[in-house]
Amino acid sequence: MSRTYSPREMLEKLISFNTVSDQSNLALIAFVEDYLAGWGVPSRRVPDPTGQKAALHARIGPDADGGTVLSAHTDVVPVAGQNWSHDPFTAWADNGRLYGRGAADMKGFAATVLAKVPDFLSADLQVPVHIALSYDEETGCDGARRLIPEMLKQGPRPATVIVGEPTLMKVVTGHKGIVVLRTSITGHPVHSSQLHRGVSAISVAAKLIGWLDARTAENRAKADPDCPFEPPYTTLHCGTISGGQAHNITAQHCEFVTDIRLLPGDSASDWVAAYRAFIEDNVLPGVKAVSENCRIDISELANVPGLEEEAEGLAEPIARRLTGDNGRHVVVYATEGGLFQSHGLSTVVCGPGSIDQAHQPDEFIALDQLDRCAAFLDRLLMGMSRIAG
């Protein structure tokens, strides 16, 4: 039998694994596998194509449809370049807070769920609890994209999903989606005194970025004042750009990365198609008239759907009953919730800690948030045990 952990002890253990997205998460996954196996709980890995990362799925309770998925990602963002006061992968406590990379985003939820495994096992569950741990959420949700279909293919089918991103245990019922695009431009270099003979890749990039900014301005102008999101419209934003060789040469190369933050219900494919159409119809003909070697290439780096508010979903009333939270909460950052929902699973986002601490140096979670999450899970178990009782 595995040892028991408090949520704090389990969080300290999870923080000790360096699972920055460019690192393997297999050591953490192996620890969780061994911990679950010690309690007699089988689990199943879903590896990435390289074999260096894996998601994990475990089920506790009857082999029956229904029940709830408790979902968390195991990866964390980098610490390089941040001014940490202690080793970010050795948890430390101070003034009612536990510090360390991932404490809030989102190992706090994963730790509380895992610490509750003995309670899951001792409960008279009438429907199962699913534990779903993913990888690479921070870089595009690739882990959940592979995990969810495998989990559903193996069965049984859960009824609801709680994604434990940090919401201060408030019930979040909607979030924006995100598409990340890289635009690479090949121009025609000439001496800048002969500008008319060349194509500056930087100038082309400026035209494209101007188009993106104009679309954001249009969206702002027609935004629905009753939309709960802030800002209440889809945004198109250039975050990084690089290019050029010298001040007196028209740039042969320029590359920039854009994210489109979509209102739930907005079509990512429609926005990308409109961007491509502008390039094909209004930009490429002019640059290719100068040189056939000019190119504009677009690659998609990430595409995560938004979470739509559900009119009659099962997850929201359950989460509201367990938290007592009846407010309307939506967020503009993306989560894996939209992916679960796209597979027909009723989903909310609700977890311990504050998103204000995510990605920050000296990231922390208030210890009373772990207590609130543990109480939330206790109430969830009571409800799942009363169904047939």
The residues carrying an active-site annotation are 75, 137
Distances (CA, A) of 299 to 28, 54, 75, 151, 182: 32, 25, 24, 29, 5
DSSP 137-195: TTTT-HHHHHHHHHHHHHSPPPSEEEE--SSTT--EEEE-EEEEEEEEEE-B--BGGGG
Do 384 and 127 form a contact (C-beta atoms < 8 A)?
yes
Residues 6 or more apart whose Cβ sits within 8 Å of residue 206: none
In DSSP terms, which residues pair with 296 in a beta bridge? 185
Q: List, in sequence order, the alpha helices (H) in the chain.
A: 7-15, 26-38, 107-115, 117-122, 142-154, 201-221, 268-278, 284-290, 315-323, 337-342, 367-386
For residue 348, give both structure tokens. Answer: 């909310």
For residue 13, give both structure tokens. Answer: 């253990």
Q: Tell me the three state secondary structure of residue 331.
A: strand
Do 189 and 252 form a contact (C-beta atoms < 8 A)?
yes
What is the C-alpha to C-alpha distance for residues 75 and 136, in angstroms, rounded to an integer? Answer: 6
